């Protein structure tokens, strides 16, 4: 029986414990995400990427936690607010690009990445994405 949480955790550790706490991984992610469209480039142009990389590393923990607990913490509430209509109003279609870019970056950095590992990352991140975009789905 496959345990996708375990598959995700093992992949996460292979990437984060390479000696740079994932710095190269997150740099590659944000460069690829920024290169993915002029719209993303424009949105990220004003963002402090050094801070953003740290925030994103933390948000992967929050995603792992939320995918198993389903508990709305103040932290993910803030994520939804920062990205929501009253914040940066991030359009829905950019979350698909965000997740695809993240999975492509896992493929580039995890030597044992296969379809199961890619699915595990999508299964762990999707609940947080659904939570963060719930507001946009309603309008």
User: Under the rule (CB under 6 A), what is the footprint of ligand HEM?
Assistant: 40, 43-44, 47-48, 55-56, 59, 78-79, 82-83, 88, 90, 94-95, 98, 128-129, 132
Provide the token pair at 103.
């999975």
Nearer to ligand HEM, 68 or 112 (CB): 68
CB of 94 to ligand HEM, least distance (A): 4
Three-state secondary-structure class, residue 41? helix
Taking only Cα atoms into account, the Rg of the chain, rounded to an integer number of angstroms, comes to 15
Integer Cα distance of 91 and 2 in angstroms: 34
Q: How many CB atoms lie within 10 A of CB 36?
A: 16
Q: Which residue's CB is nearer to ligand HEM, number 113 or number 132?
A: 132
Write down the least CB distance from residue 128 to ligand HEM, Å: 5
Q: How far is the CB of 60 from ligand HEM (least distance, A)?
A: 7
Distance CA 84, CA 23 (A): 27
- Using the Cα atoms of residue 38, residue 39, residue 45 and residue 50 in order, give the sign of their dihedral: negative
Supply the minimum distance, in Å, between the C-beta of residue 120 and ligand HEM. 16
User: Considering beta carbons, is residue 12 or 79 the nearer one to ligand HEM?
Assistant: 79
């Amino acid at each position: 029986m496959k345990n996708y949480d375990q598959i995700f955790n093992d992949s996460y550790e292979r990437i984060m414990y390479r000696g740079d706490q994932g710095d190269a991984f997150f740099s590659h992610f944000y460069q690829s995400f920024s290169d993915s469209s002029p719209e993303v480039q424009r949105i990220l142009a004003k963002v402090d990427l050094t801070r953003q990389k740290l925030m994103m590393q933390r948000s992967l923990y929050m995603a792992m936690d939320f995918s198993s607990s389903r508990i709305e913490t103040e932290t993910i509430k803030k994520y939804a607010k920062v990205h929501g209509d009253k914040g940066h109003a991030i359009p829905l279609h950019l979350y698909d690009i965000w997740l695809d870019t993240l999975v492509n970056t896992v493929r580039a950095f995890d030597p044992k990445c296969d379809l199961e590992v890619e699915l595990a990352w999508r299964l762990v991140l999707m609940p947080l994405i659904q939570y963060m975009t719930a507001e946009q789905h309603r309008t």
